Chain A
Amino acid sequence: MGVGWYGFSPHVHDLSFREMMFEAASRAYYDAGGMDPRKDVDTFISCQEDFWEGISISDEFAPDPIGGAMRPTMTVAGDGLQGVAHGVMQITSGLADVVVVESHAKPSDIITFSDVVKLSEDPIYVRSAKVPNIHFVAALDATKFLSRGKATRADLAEVVSKNKSAGLSSSKAPYAARIDKDYVLSQDYVLTPFTRLDIAQPVDAAIVVVLASETVARRFSDTPIWIHGIGFATDSSNLELATLGEARYMRLAAERAYLMAGVESPLKFRGIFVDDRYSHKELEHLEALGITDVVEKLREGYFHPGSYLPVNPKGGLLAKGYPLEASGLSLLLDAVEYMREGEESAIVGSWRGFFTFTGSVAVMSR
């Protein structure tokens, strides 16, 4: 029904996270046709994690900025797209007609970002190994992916070049740049096989999405964007048992979403917005969404903006940065804008980042 955002800047220095939430919520309610959250919204969902906020029980701060005080407001400690899935469930169960989903991130407030990430490692088996670089699991995952022999380092560079260039068409992509594949390949490795350009940067942002049942949506808008299917899944959350080199969580989430939406083939969609916080993840996630021969298609330009199946035509997380738990909503926001520009349908695939193996998929159309 409506979307609103604030930020997408590496450092929002003039607003607190609560003020950012308020700005995003106000814009979403305006976008939804001038909704009054005090009267028109049934339930509110915030998506956040305590350690990112630097506040224990951070959901205390969820209700006020989004109009959810003295109303049914809850927190899903997960990605924003998981929050959307909870919103869909609250609507389809008959509990609510209008649900607001909010997520925000202010990583510029985090002084010890790497240390916070390390606290998500298993305290016994992984944290005690004291691996200094937080990207080590991603690098192992990428190495395994490349070892399957289809993709090369040059293909990852092509993903970086494609997405950072595509980001120039977006108003919320501070890391967009017109760079070519050779420039990426000329960079030093941060951690094999990644250069600093292969790794998306954290970004400050707040995003609010207004969901509504069909009856209400028809009343407020002539041009709603429909969610036909949604799914989320966790692979084994223990690193030593997880599957590297493929995104099984995304495949399981896609299976559920496709079943709900009756999707025959993802190739019939007009755009795919998928988590690319590491360059290889875009290809891995596309495979998990059921697209075959992704490397060949990438080389043929199949995924480039304006081509057969544009992937991250708004730049993805490599160009926009990743707003922590709001990353899924950031991709959903791109998909909504893309469809409002005239495209018919889109698939959104999000991931929570390492050390998690959880992903969500939404199937949407205009």
Chain B
Amino acid sequence: MRTNLRFRPVAVIGAGMTPFRRRMLDTPQELAWEASRRALDEAGLELRDVDCVVIGSAPDAFDGVHMKGEYLAHGAGGVRKPVSRVYVGGATGVMTAISAWYHVASGLCQKVLAVAEEKMSPGRPHPQSVFRYIWDPITEKPLNPNLIWIFAMEMHRYMNVNRVSKEDIALVSVKNKRNAKKNQYSQLGGDITVDDVLKSEVLVWPVQLLDVSPVSDGAAAMVLVSGDIARRYTDTPIWVEGVGWTLDNTSWPGRELAYPRYLENAARMAYKMAGIERPQKEIDVVEPYDPFDYKELHHLEGLLLAKKGEAPTLMREGFFDVDGEIPSSPSGGLLGVGNPIAAAGLMKTISIYWQLKGTAGGMQVKKSVHTGVAQAWGDLMQASTVIVMRN
């Protein structure tokens, strides 16, 4: 039931994904089209019915194409239509859905196709190489840092400030890979133990191989339409009730890394719009961004679903399990499904959409759900995007 009367109603009526895999043979355009076609099929629409296309894709260097939005437009059905690409680094996936929301909410468009695609496999010698060029060219690049180093610093800081053990953090990886077993699109679902995580290869202490999501190729797409149109196509539209995003400053070394304050800002913006005053009581299911296992805990705190430093305890108690109080990452998250950056963020939004619609199949959580939140994170540990949906 929609409760937000201030904004023009916008509903999700269809979504689709490609499987996430380490290396897909399809071109980026083909991946984008496969996801788009599936989303249109679920919505019962044809491409000619779509007014506008919003594309999300993270660094151009992954696919190796300059102006990647223009290149992807053809595959995303963006021919002779308003097409634009939005971008907030790793947080792009949810931003794509947010942008599609305001395309409809503004009245400019009635039916919008939101498409997110990432093909990381072309990166040589490894997709990590792309991250050699994300740094401040003067103060940081000469040090040649890589991304896992700085996340190791953040993980360390989070563990140190909140007195969290590696065992507690490993529980996230165990949970998400277990959840991903039931997701037909997943790349790395499976039963692992805390011991497996703790014995996996150390990349940069305290980050170990099974603490990290994999490199992936994949695409995801959603159809968002105005409220009156939604009723023509489905009896069960899922309403976008709140959106929020925040970018912190570029200077990550000067930031308190133990707590994502920028995410709290983004969450408060979305919650205020959706009329959520007590997140832990009012949110039924959540998909926090989990490229690393500690990030899910970090983000659950930033989303105000746990107090600072409390998320590991709740995780241990099963609060965030698929049959817990607030199931977290029922899709399997990035750790289990895979992490084609922008597509992974939209996958999280799609997971909440399917949960609220009741069509998540084996991933469907046990409790009945009415309010769900998806979140993504990116840039230099500085960006977060949040979307709240209700059925």
Q: Contact between A74 and B86 (Cβ–Cβ < 8 Å)?
A: yes
* Minimum CB–CB distance for A20 against chain B, Å: 15
Stretch touching chain B among A88-96, A155-163, A299-307: A88-96
Contact of B134 with A120 in the complex, beta carbons under 8 Å:
no
CB pair B67–A356 under 8 Å, yes or no, is: yes
A288 to B261, CA, bound (A): 48
B70 touches A120 (CB 8 A): yes
**Contact indicator B86/A75 (Cβ below 8 Å):** yes
The residue among B59, B81, B106, B245 with the most chain A CB atoms within 10 A of its own CB is B106
The stretch from A135-143, A204-212, A230-238, A310-318 touching chain B is A230-238
CB of A349, distance to nearest CB on chain B (Å)? 15
Which residues of chain B come closer than 8 Å to A69, judged between CB atoms?
247-249
Assess the A93–B85 pair: CB atoms within 8 A.
Answer: no
- Give 1 or 0 for each of B215-237: 1 = CB within 8 Å of chain A CB: 00000000000000000000000
Measured between C-beta atoms, what is the minimum distance from A326 to chain B in Å? Answer: 15
Instruction: Kindly state whether residue A296 has any CB partner on chain B within 8 Å.
Output: no
Given the complex of chains A and B, what is the CA–CA distance between A355 and B108 in angstroms? 27
A56-B247 in contact given A75-B87, A94-B6, A234-B79 (Cβ < 8 Å): no
- Tell me the minimal C-beta distance from B112 to chain A in angstroms: 11
B202: Cβ under 8 A from any A Cβ? no
Q: Is the CB of A237 within 8 A of B80?
A: no
**Contact yes or no, B134 A55, CB < 8 A:** yes
Question: Which residues of A lie under 8 Å from residue B60 when comparing CB positions?
Answer: 49-51, 56, 119
A213 nearest CB across to chain B (Å) = 12
Which residues in window 130-189 of B have CB below 8 A to A? 130-131, 133-134, 136-137
The interface residues of chain A lying within 8 Å CB-to-CB of B337 are none
Contacts of B69 in A (CB 8 A): 77-78
Which B residues between 344 and 384 are near A, CB-CB below 8 angstroms?
A: 378-380, 382-383
Tell whether, in the assembled complex, residue A60 and residue B134 are in contact, meaning their CB atoms are under 8 Å apart.
yes
On whether the beta carbons of B84 and A54 are closer than 8 Å, the reply is no
B82 and A90: CB pair below 8 A? Answer: no
Instruction: Name the B residues within 8 Å of A231 (CB-CB).
Output: 82
Please pick, from B8, B108, B134, the residue contacting A56 in the complex, using a CB distance under 8 A.
B134
A124 on the B face (CB < 8 A): yes
Is B111 close to A, CB under 8 A?
no
Is the contact region of chain B dominated by helix, strand, or loop, or is it mixed?
A: mixed
Interface presence of B390 (CB below 8 A) = no
Interface segment among B14-22, B95-103, B320-328: the answer is B95-103
Contact with A along B46-63 (1 / 0, CB 8 A): 000000000000111100
A120 to B131, CA, bound (A): 20
Distance between B130 CB and nearest chain A CB, rounded to angstroms: 5
Contact (Cβ within 8 A) B78 A57: no
- In the bound complex, residues from chain A placing their C-beta under 8 Å from that of B253 are none
Does A256 interact with chain B (Cβ within 8 Å)?
Answer: yes
**Bound CA span A360–B262, Å:** 32
Asked if residues B247 and A232 are in contact (CB atoms below 8 Å), the reply is no
**A190 vs B103: C-alpha distance when bound (angstroms):** 42
Let me know if A59 and B245 touch, CB within 8 A.
no
Check: A117 CB closer than 8 A to any chain B CB.
Answer: yes
Determine whether B114 belongs to the interface, using a CB cutoff of 8 Å to chain A.
no
Which residues of B lie under 8 Å from residue A122 when comparing CB positions?
Answer: 71
User: Could you say which of A56, A72, A116 contacts B244, with CB atoms under 8 Å apart?
Assistant: A72
Chain B contact residue count (CB 8 A cutoff): 64
A76 to B87, CA, bound (A): 6
Contact B58 A76 (CB under 8 A): no
Asked if A90 and B106 make an inter-chain contact with CB atoms under 8 angstroms apart, the answer reads yes
B339 → chain A, closest Cβ, in Å?
15
Question: Cβ of A57: which chain B residues have Cβ within 8 Å of it?
Answer: 58-59, 89, 134, 378-380
Q: Across the two chains, which residue of chain B brings its CB closest to A122?
A: B71
Cβ contacts under 8 Å, B82 to chain A: 85, 231-234, 253, 256
Residue in contact with B80 in the complex, picked from A90, A92, A116, A252, CB distance below 8 Å: A252
Given A50-B59, A57-B134, A94-B6, decide whether A89 and B102 contact each other with a Cβ distance below 8 A. yes
Complex formed: what's the CA distance from A362 to B251 in Å?
36
Asked if A63 and B108 make an inter-chain contact with CB atoms under 8 angstroms apart, the answer reads no
Q: Assuming A51-B66, A234-B78, is B85 touching A60 (CB within 8 A)?
A: no
Q: Decide: B79 and A237 in contact? CB cutoff 8 A.
A: yes
What is the bound-complex CA distance between A92 and B262, given in angstroms?
25
Contact A70 B262 (CB under 8 A): yes
Contact of A93 among B89, B102, B250 (CB under 8 A): B102
Q: Which residues does chain B contribute within 8 Å of A94, judged by CB atoms?
A: 6-8, 105
**B44 contacts the other chain (Cβ, under 8 Å)?**
no
- Chain A residue contacts of B108, Cβ below 8 A: 85, 88-89, 92
Structural contact, B106 and A236, CB atoms closer than 8 A: no
- Point out the residues of chain B lying under 8 angstroms from A36, CB to CB: none
Q: Which one of A63, A235, A253, A357 has the highest number of Cβ atoms from chain B below 10 Å of its Cβ?
A: A63
Interface centre among B8, B107, B246 (most CB of A within 10 A): B246
Instruction: State A122–B64 Cα separation when bound (angstroms).
Output: 10
Decide: B70 and A74 in contact? CB cutoff 8 A: no
Which A residues are in CB contact (< 8 Å) with B8? 93-94
B-facing residues in A80-132 (Cβ within 8 Å): 82, 85-86, 88-95, 116-117, 119-120, 122-124
Listed in ascending order, the chain B residues whose CB lies under 8 Å from chain A are 6-8, 27, 58-61, 64-71, 73-74, 78-89, 95, 99, 101-103, 105-108, 130-131, 133-134, 136-137, 243-251, 261-262, 265-266, 269, 378-380, 382-383
Q: Other than the known A56-B130, A120-B70, A233-B80, what 10 A-B pairs have Cβ atoms closer than 8 Å?
A: A54-B133, A56-B133, A57-B89, A59-B247, A85-B82, A93-B8, A93-B102, A235-B80, A352-B70, A355-B67
Q: Which 4 residue pairs of A and B lie closest in terms of their CB atoms, listed nearest first?
A: A93-B105, A89-B106, A119-B66, A69-B249
Binding site for B on A (CB under 8 A): 49-51, 54-57, 59-64, 68-78, 82, 85-86, 88-95, 116-117, 119-120, 122-124, 231-238, 241, 248, 252-253, 256, 352, 355-358
A–B complex contacts, Cβ < 8 Å, 26 sampled: A49-B66, A51-B67, A56-B60, A56-B61, A60-B89, A60-B379, A60-B383, A62-B247, A69-B248, A71-B265, A72-B246, A74-B88, A74-B245, A75-B86, A77-B85, A94-B105, A95-B105, A95-B243, A116-B66, A120-B67, A234-B83, A237-B70, A248-B80, A256-B82, A352-B70, A357-B70
